[in-house]
Structure 1
């Protein structure tokens, strides 16, 4: 299941969707809005996406993960819009017969998602400032919807 949502992520439903009798391992990754980044206080995050392309790219990543590891279940949900402190902006749940494969697939999926999927994050700071941030670069290399490099 691939989903972009404007609503809070239902973690229980996500976990339940990958739990199957043939899977001995379920791994869940949650990307949560943290309060401080490099010593600066975050008020909230805001996410925007090129929806059609993001869904296609997430589907491609899911397919690649299923070809690379013996996954029983694989679900990726990314939140769009405003995400407040301690809320999940992304959730990846994978299941497989064994834990090693589930851990490897989950880690690969979040890393590939951050690198390849056209979803942009804006940090909104407690001091009133805001900036678009690419996850693989410093804030000096920030990109956003009006300054896209992909």
Structure 2
């Protein structure tokens, strides 16, 4: 099972996790990316994410297909939010189920790195001082 979602509203992460529960999986790894309060020394109040959904979903699915070929995993899914997200909101979620933990950890890291590198998602940071700026979100690290 591979599923990549672009969502403009809150997503039930428990429901996504349920889709990954497989009897052959002994390991499960998730990554959650939240809107943080600072970036490059500036206080952030929120982030606005925009995406070209058809291309973002297509590229996201390609990443999930690749991860299934590269790693010994059972299932994976990922979700990235769009819209206005205040500090603390969940922006990205990735789940990977695998027979063993090592593959789950490695696959989860691969997915987030490739999403940041390849999926057409743009972010505009809203700062506490009232300024708003587009910032790069395609670096890996």
TM-score, length-normalised on structure 2? 0.93
* Cα deviations by residue, 1:19-78 (Å, 9 ceiling, x for unpaired): 111100111100100111222111101000111111110011010000001221110111
Superposition CA RMSD, Å: 1.1
| Partner residue of 1:126 out of 102, 125, 128 | 128
1:27 corresponding residue in structure 2:
29
SS in 1 for 2:36: coil
Contact 1:61 1:112 in 2 (8 A): yes
Contact 1:9 1:88 in 2 (8 A): no
Which ranges of 4 or more aligned residues in structure 1 deviate by more than 2 Å? none
- Separation of aligned partners in 1, 2:112 and 2:129: 29
Say which of 81, 84, 97 aligns to 1:82: 84
- The gaps in structure 2 that reach 5 residues or longer are none
How does 1:27-106 map onto structure 2 within 5 Å? 27-106=29-108
Number of equivalent positions: 137
Whether the aligned pair in 1 keeps the contact of 2:118 and 2:138 (CA below 8 Å) is no
Q: Which runs of 5+ in 1 are unaligned?
A: 138-150
Helix, strand or coil for the counterpart of 2:134? strand
Are 2:23 and 1:18 aligned?
no
Q: How far apart, CA to CA, are the structure 1 residues paired with 2:21 and 2:134? A: 36
